[in-house]
Structure 1
């Protein structure tokens, strides 16, 4: 259930102020620290400070934020929550569930590509945010320039170590700091607007249009830098499962948006009055006595900026595993109240390694700005395309209404994507390379799982006839005490672990339970709908389990739910053994749907996936693993 739909008398509703505070501390860090470098990069791309450049650029920034963040994400895309969950994979699951069957594979491919690009953006945001703040120390003492990279690495190391405490705990710590940050943005902006109130004329989109029409070629390049003001917009939607849509909307409309606009206009007023300030307009906007405190506050804010995409990457990883696009990865739930708050150790260390590389390789926010934008712009465009199917197929808008909304938004996104293409050779290759590699991994794993399932269906014996033949014949295997549970099988087929147990031990347990699960295109499945039991006779049962794409399978919990449908059996943990097949996947090159290199990649991923016992939440002292081999 979305947080916006929670009754006002519920505990979650009473905790709404805490959710707003947490959202301010986690969700808005990325977009909230864009003023550190956006106007500077825009004016550099435009060729310097002129009245037309300043008025036109700040007008473009204003209307880009209003159109892309406020209208598109906050007002439109966030309505398409998948039972409270956001992010492009949640949107893909929602869209593919209502789109025509012939288009579902295409939508899944688009969604996976968008997710891969989001990961690419998640690598750059911490690097550019922290470096841009630390660079402020050069205004205090130019000799500190050589310390920018070491200081940035120390700060980032501390941030990634903090992740295991959970986004809720992080948000409560970061929330008050970000409130001070946004108040400071507003105050700095107002201090210069009052001395150059004429800059407020740039609120009119006429100035943006005049700038574009005067020099279309230059304006097109500048738009790639204007887009820096929007990075972090996708995180508002991706982090929706952590805090809910209502807290995010309230924080954006009443704190974040006004503070950002005031600061951008204040910087514009400053550079008109003092063109030399264009080198560092954000830090130059502060009085001399406030420079050191501002550098410290900016550093704290940019640490928090990194949190938005890191927590978004955690959420997306959990969804990707459940939807079958990534191998099993250990996921730690960090809150007993908000199911969306998770920590993924493997993703945390991977992002940290990528961020360290970016800081050491690019060394400055100027260089990183050239790499920033192309990945997240691509994700934003794909989000808009997926929203077409939501409006047309789920909300049943009339074609004219759908075109009137989706068409302009897609055009705006396409312009930003194309304007960022010029950055590819200057550093944009990195997020594209990282995103492309992840896209390859995700699509290979998804296809490999499909191939593996088909292989198992064709090679394995059907479960029900096998049970009857074993138990009805004169030479039925002896039965031993207790319950044997076989998780992770294919519905209707005898699992390998069961066959291995028969082959090596020559026995069946008193009770045998076969569990096969499927993941639905919704985040959560109610307990009463989660498990359906089929009796196979002879005290053998097959349980069909449905999971939502945000739920981690918990086999003991499933058994507790299912025992209500098995009157002759009760779940006793001490008498229950869990049999898992530890199958080794070998690439043979015989697959008709996968090339040999993809088979080998899938086999490698399968060998390095997390242990099934951990993934299924099984008690370690009750697990029996049976080895085997599967050729694909």
Structure 2
């Protein structure tokens, strides 16, 4: 069933007709960026599934678990994401923020808005938790091949893993724009290596192909229901990184992602899992590190090398994803403003956030030190993966609930299918929670902390806005009383930044009360970031002349854009009213918050908000206002 009514008139750019060479390079880049995470899952998914369920590696169990892994790839990735999630985009963009925006379209219920935002923030917490664990488990799983080559090297797994992670994070400031073309070749080589290892085993015992029949998965569930329930905690690891398919939709478009998945990635993954299962049928004792048992002994060093490179690429992709989603949250004022560095002049989405980078580095290294091996860490990893998937399914349900299908039959059929997805996600979630005290707590702690930061920041900003509205005058009322005061006019333009376009900013009141002069032209400038990924500021400027030579200007940006104040003023000068761009004075109000006496819970939250405000980048630095044209006025506010 198609979601024809979901797709807007804005078609994804990458689906337009293009040359064969361009399509090939796009597919190569797509494989390098999108599929690194799910491509490293064979390192640990099958062995973790057996480890969690505690069952012997006999024929039924091997066929059953392998069948469940393969059908998880088919149902969750191939069907759920490609045919249900990805068509619901936001002007070609995917990801949690896009789903949130679609849920909030024309939504009038404040209660529903709060629910959608809360779900999104929880999902962001799970996604960032995933990003902290992915580098640790991927790199450790790859390096653990050293112990298969020589047991004496087992003690070097943790130090080598830590060294690779430290190198990975310290090089982030260089940027990741090379991911697409250069890394794509390595990931293609990795998938071909996976397929080759699998085929080499399958030809020894083709009976393993019976696992393609889902009946074997059902037999396993019916015979060992409790064991199967526990095994789902490992099976979920086979679909890690499926969120990347949706998150990177805007970078590549659905066509290259589909071609990459169905013609390269999926077949190679299935062949490798079937190869691992074949080897277990031949010798169940190989279960401990089944992936590297596929590799001929003399090829293990090469396999460790290529697996490590693939793991680094997978880690790089998720780290870049975290930088992107944090930047989007900053633009939407969900979290404090942080220093953002653009690492590529060609790709505006390539960003580096130093504070986030080093936080991830410290936490990744701590995770490696605490868990010591990939088996233990997999308990935490599964929970972060299924948490993000569950939030995606719930938001998808809410979107469909609104008005996607006109036909009643299709509407109820869609509800039924999405409900099944949610039930499957809940099954995976329940299985992952069983191991809460053995590692799952890490994901929960990270998600709760992220949610607390976002909720505290948003609540605090609303509180400050309410305080400002109570104290401030409406612009037009204020100007009637003060604009005709006898003041000496000086050449030039004064620009006052304002969070709300209808009230007087504190900086302007201070300016009027303390200066004997006034600029010839005055602009009240408000920057408004929408839930759309992109806008054209020159076509999305709300301009009102509220008095002679006094304007209220609201510039609208999308959450994926970087506000350019100078460019907006230049457009104003060329199309609305001429101003001297070299003779502009910018005025900002810098608020300093003081926490008053409150009950313990409220005091903790407001103290956290006070701290977040201190570390937040100043508006003047965020908007890159030249210091030579800047006057910043401080004000204390009691909260």
Q: CA deviation at 1:513?
A: 0.9
Q: CA deviation at 1:284?
A: 0.8
Q: Choose from 128, 153, 161 the match for 1:152.
A: 161
Q: CA deviation at 1:413?
A: 0.8
How far apart, CA to CA, are the structure 1 residues paired with 2:360 and 2:282? 41
How far apart, CA to CA, are the structure 1 residues paired with 2:127 and 2:224? 32
How far apart, CA to CA, are the structure 1 residues paired with 2:16 and 2:73? 32
Provide the residue aligned with 2:579 in structure 1: 570
Provide the residue aligned with 2:6 in structure 1: none
Provide the residue aligned with 1:218 in structure 2: 227
How far apart, CA to CA, are the structure 1 residues paired with 2:270 and 2:629? 59
Provide the residue aligned with 2:63 in structure 1: 55
How far apart, CA to CA, are the structure 1 residues paired with 2:576 and 2:129? 48
User: Alpha-carbon deviations, 1:133-184, whole Å to 9, x = none?
Assistant: 1010112221111111111111112222333333332332211110100000
Provide the residue aligned with 2:133 in structure 1: 124
TM-score (norm 2): 0.93
How far apart, CA to CA, are the structure 2 residues paired with 1:107 and 1:15? 38
Provide the residue aligned with 1:523 in structure 2: 533
Q: Secondary structure at the match of 2:519?
A: strand
Q: Does the 8 Å CA contact 1:122/1:313 hold for their aligned counterparts?
A: yes
User: 1:435-514 counterparts in 2 under 5 A?
Assistant: 435-473=447-485, 476-514=486-524
Matched, 1:415 2:423: no
User: 1:94-243 counterparts in 2 under 5 A?
Assistant: 94-99=102-107, 101=109, 102-243=111-252
Greater displacement, 331-340 / 373-382: 331-340
Alignment CA distance shift 1:420-1:454 (3 Å) = same
Q: Secondary structure at the match of 2:520?
A: strand
Greater displacement, 337-346 / 365-374: 337-346
Q: Secondary structure at the match of 2:105?
A: helix
Q: CA deviation at 1:338?
A: 4.2
Provide the residue aligned with 2:551 in structure 1: 541
Provide the residue aligned with 1:427 in structure 2: 439
Greater displacement, 99-108 / 53-62: 99-108
Q: CA deviation at 1:31?
A: 0.8
Provide the residue aligned with 1:345 in structure 2: 354
How far apart, CA to CA, are the structure 1 residues paired with 2:284 and 2:483? 88
How far apart, CA to CA, are the structure 2 residues paired with 1:357 and 1:2? 44
User: Alpha-carbon deviations, 1:490-544, whole Å to 9, x = none?
Assistant: 1111112222333444432222111123222211112343211111223111101
How far apart, CA to CA, are the structure 2 residues paired with 1:603 and 1:497? 21
Greater displacement, 61-70 / 553-562: 553-562
Provide the residue aligned with 1:268 in structure 2: 277
Q: CA deviation at 1:235?
A: 2.0
Q: Choose from 557, 564, 570 the match for 1:554.
A: 564
Alignment CA distance shift 1:482-1:352 (3 Å) = same
How far apart, CA to CA, are the structure 1 residues paired with 2:115 and 2:84? 23
Q: Does the 8 Å CA contact 1:3/1:246 hold for their aligned counterparts?
A: no
How far apart, CA to CA, are the structure 1 residues paired with 2:572 and 2:81? 41
How many equivalent pairs are there? 624
How far apart, CA to CA, are the structure 2 residues paired with 1:438 and 1:268? 39
User: Alpha-carbon deviations, 1:283-316, whole Å to 9, x = none?
Assistant: 1101122111011111111111112321221121
Greater displacement, 545-554 / 440-449: 545-554
Q: Does the 8 Å CA contact 2:144/2:157 hold for their aligned counterparts?
A: yes
Q: CA deviation at 1:280?
A: 1.2
Q: CA deviation at 1:480?
A: 2.2
Q: Secondary structure at the match of 2:86?
A: helix
TM-score (norm 1): 0.94
How far apart, CA to CA, are the structure 2 residues paired with 1:32 and 1:6? 25
Q: Does the 8 Å CA contact 2:15/2:255 hold for their aligned counterparts?
A: no
Greater displacement, 213-222 / 302-311: 302-311
Alignment CA distance shift 1:501-1:387 (3 Å) = same
Q: Does the 8 Å CA contact 1:242/1:340 hold for their aligned counterparts?
A: no
How far apart, CA to CA, are the structure 1 residues paired with 2:57 and 2:118? 44
How far apart, CA to CA, are the structure 2 residues paired with 1:71 and 1:8? 25
How far apart, CA to CA, are the structure 1 residues paired with 2:393 and 2:516? 57
Q: CA deviation at 1:56?
A: 0.2
Alignment CA distance shift 1:162-1:241 (3 Å) = farther
Q: Secondary structure at the match of 1:494?
A: coil
How far apart, CA to CA, are the structure 2 residues paired with 1:290 and 1:178? 18
Q: CA RMSD in A?
A: 2.0
Q: CA deviation at 1:131?
A: 0.5
How far apart, CA to CA, are the structure 1 residues paired with 2:21 and 2:172? 26
Q: Choose from 607, 629, 633 the match for 1:626.
A: 633
Q: Secondary structure at the match of 1:373?
A: helix
Matched, 1:372 2:384: no
Q: Does the 8 Å CA contact 1:445/1:605 hold for their aligned counterparts?
A: yes
Alignment CA distance shift 1:628-1:433 (3 Å) = same
Provide the residue aligned with 1:358 in structure 2: 367
Q: Does the 8 Å CA contact 1:94/1:522 hold for their aligned counterparts?
A: no
Alignment CA distance shift 1:67-1:247 (3 Å) = same
Alignment CA distance shift 1:242-1:410 (3 Å) = same
- Ranges in structure 1 where 5+ consecutive residues have no aligned partner: none
- Ranges in structure 2 where 5+ consecutive residues have no aligned partner: 1-9
Q: Does the 8 Å CA contact 2:537/2:556 hold for their aligned counterparts?
A: no
Provide the residue aligned with 1:92 in structure 2: 100
Provide the residue aligned with 1:280 in structure 2: 289
Q: CA deviation at 1:36?
A: 0.4
Greater displacement, 285-294 / 232-241: 232-241
How far apart, CA to CA, are the structure 2 residues paired with 1:16 and 1:537? 54
Q: Does the 8 Å CA contact 2:492/2:579 hold for their aligned counterparts?
A: no
User: Alpha-carbon deviations, 1:397-424, whole Å to 9, x = none?
Assistant: 5331221321111111111111111121
